[in-house]
Amino acid sequence: MYGLKRIRIPLATAAAAAILGTGVTASVAAPNPATPAVKEQGSAPTAAFGSAAAKDSIPEGIIVGYKKRTDAARSDAEARADARAKGAKVGEHLGFDRRLGTGAALVGFDSKMAAEDVKDVMAAYASDPDVAYVVPDERMYATATPNDPLYTQQWDLFENHAGMRVPGAWKRGITGKGVNVSVIDTGYVAHSDLAANIVPGYDFISDPSRARDGDGRDSDPADQGDWVRRGECGTNAAGEPLPDRDRNNTWHGTHVSGTIAATANNSNGITGIAHRARIQPVRVLGKCGGSTSDIIDAITWSSGGTVWGVPRNRHPADVINMSLGGGRTCDLGSQLAINAAVARGTTVVVSAGNENSDAANQSPASCANVINVAASDREGNRAAYSNYGWTVDITAPGGETKPNVSNGILSTLNSGTRGVGLENYDFYQGTSMAAPHITGLAALMYDANSRIRPAQVEAAIKLHARLLPGVCVGGCGAGLADASATLASVRGFRLGR
């Protein structure tokens, strides 16, 4: 039912972990410049949409429930004879097809019948005292397959093997509606596939030289671009220039946001995991990264806490996504901010980092009270760049671009390398891409049960994870997240709503 199209792209270089600058950096593994931007296809919707069509269509048969202890309830031969007799009565050919698990008889129509004829057949059964009920055997359609033309390339959502099995959650009618998600990142660049879900955020970058908008903190979290020249961010401990080469804009926060909540079923681009959730862009990463102090304030404000000089947040987050990190263990300042956010009921999701090393040496990945997410590839192995270890809670698709095949994560972007260009879509890979998968899943869980607590979110995601179908050396937490299995469990305690 779901397309399993392999994506072929021109030769791509192997990716290395990206150090985007000093301080805290976005943990996207090198966005691959050789990967072509995916342009809008403008193709027709790919999926049939069901309910309206189903109501107008002619059923292909009927389901007949005979009363207990009637002959036709016990004997297929009797049910077959009854179908022949009823058909003769109304002038149609009816045939007994099979017995359903409920014991009801499935009665098929020989040829296409008019709606009036179907009514007559049903009336003939309904008037029989041996019949408990008769209902049309309608054609059902998957209502959960988005019509977004690039959805077929979102293997990370729908592939059963190593995707997050999201469609099973959508089939339950859960889309993240009414859930607030703060994306603490580079901000937001306008994109038509996200605009409907964006709510006002804030720009917490206090250093004008990193902000590129001419001032310190302000209420406009528009991403000003994070391109930098070689060496513009200083040097590392070894005296080497940071970054080691010129870098273009990443539009990192917009890519992360698209994975969480790009608009679905708008015949445009991709679909987000929690595509009815609200995204609040909270800007902390500029040119040369961001500072721990700005991030602490962003965590506090996003979760509904008070930050001096900043207006109250009118959309306090149910879930915070932080696809960012720095090379040290969790500091107490960050930990206290996270603890307070969790105490306010906000689930905090973070990326494990892209150093192919122990996430215990990364912050906020190593903080307590967070869901720390490692990345897997399309085969279900730990991605080669992904951090690992005992602090990892769960693994989700982060993609891995291999020679000739793009198995990265497709999401919303912008083509501007040094300024704002046209909106587009492209593949990125990284634990930055894995974390928003878990954020999207958490948002779906808040939709299913608005009273769910962060500890319950984390426990349910872990409990319903599956073994990685590939290889993970070093520790991938509870395994690969499974949205369908997780949401099936959340419905169980929806009673509190």
Which of 388, 372, 291 is CA-nearest to residue 333? Answer: 291
Q: Is there a catalytic annotation at residue 252?
A: yes
Considering only residues 90 through 149, tell me which ones interact with Ca ion, judged by CB under 5 A.
148
Query: Which residue, 45 or 103, is less far from Ca ion as judged by CB?
Result: 45
Q: Does 186 interact with Ca ion (rule: CB under 5 A)?
A: no
Query: Which residue, 18 or 307, is less far from Ca ion as judged by CB?
Result: 307
Q: Is there a catalytic annotation at residue 358?
A: no
Shortest Å distance, C-beta 12 to Ca ion: 25
User: What SS3 class is residue 300?
Assistant: helix
Task: Write out 195-237 in H/E/C secondary structure.
Answer: HHHECCCEECCCCHHHHCCCCCCECCCECCCCCECCCCCCECC
Q: Does 218 interact with Ca ion (rule: CB under 5 A)?
A: yes
Query: Which residue, 73 or 228, is less far from Ca ion as judged by CB?
Result: 228
Q: Does 215 interact with Ca ion (rule: CB under 5 A)?
A: yes
Instruction: Cis check for the bond before 243: say yes or no (omega within 30 of 0).
Output: yes
Question: Taking a C-beta distance cutoff of 8 angstroms, is the pair 186, 26 a contact?
Answer: yes
Shortest Å distance, C-beta 58 to Ca ion: 33
Query: Which residue, 57 or 143, is less far from Ca ion as judged by CB?
Result: 143
Which single residue brings its beta carbon nearest to Ca ion? 203
Residue recorded with tokens 């959650």: 169
Q: Is there a catalytic annotation at residue 223?
A: no
Alpha helices in 241-361 (DSSP H): 252-261, 292-302, 332-343
Q: Which stretch binds Ca ion (CB under 5 A): 189-197, 343-351, 411-419, 426-434?
A: 189-197
Q: Which stretch binds Ca ion (CB under 5 A): 69-77, 84-92, 214-222, 343-351?
A: 214-222
Q: Which stretch binds Ca ion (CB under 5 A): 63-71, 218-226, 300-308, 468-476?
A: 218-226
Binding mask 265-304 for Ca ion (x = CB under 5 A): -x-xx-----------------------------------
Shortest Å distance, C-beta 456 to Ca ion: 13
- Work out which of 147, 263, 291, 334 binds Ca ion, going by CB under 5 A: 263
Question: Taking a C-beta distance cutoff of 8 angstroms, is the pair 193, 272 a contact?
Answer: no
Distance CA 391, CA 389 (A): 6
Q: Which of 252, 255, 437, 464 is catalytic?
A: 252
Q: Does 198 interact with Ca ion (rule: CB under 5 A)?
A: no
- Which letter does DSSP use for residue 366 in this model? T
**Backbone region of residue 316 per phi and psi (left: phi > 0; alpha: psi in -120 to 50; beta: other values):** beta
Tokens of 99: 């017995």
Query: Which residue, 134 or 183, is less far from Ca ion as judged by CB?
Result: 183
Note the Cα 110 to chain centre separation in Å: 44
- Work out which of 97, 128, 393, 400 binds Ca ion, going by CB under 5 A: 393
**Backbone region of residue 87 per phi and psi (left: phi > 0; alpha: psi in -120 to 50; beta: other values):** alpha
Give the dihedral sign, CA 481/483/488/491: positive
Q: Which of 191, 302, 432, 437 is catalytic?
A: 432
Tokens of 154: 């979102």
Q: Does 223 interact with Ca ion (rule: CB under 5 A)?
A: no
Instruction: Cis check for the bond before 221: say yes or no (omega within 30 of 0).
Output: no
Which of 487, 176, 164 is CA-nearest to residue 317? Answer: 176
Q: Which stretch binds Ca ion (CB under 5 A): 203-211, 327-335, 400-408, 421-429?
A: 203-211
Q: Which stretch binds Ca ion (CB under 5 A): 219-227, 247-255, 301-309, 358-366?
A: 219-227
Shortest Å distance, C-beta 337 to Ca ion: 16
AA identity, residue 348: V
Q: Does 159 interact with Ca ion (rule: CB under 5 A)?
A: no
**Backbone region of residue 337 per phi and psi (left: phi > 0; alpha: psi in -120 to 50; beta: other values):** alpha
User: What SS3 class is residue 282?
Assistant: strand
- Work out which of 97, 128, 213, 423 binds Ca ion, going by CB under 5 A: 213
Residues at the interface with Ca ion (CB under 5 A): 148, 193, 203, 211, 213, 215, 218, 220, 263, 266, 268-269, 393
Please list the active-site residues.
185, 252, 432
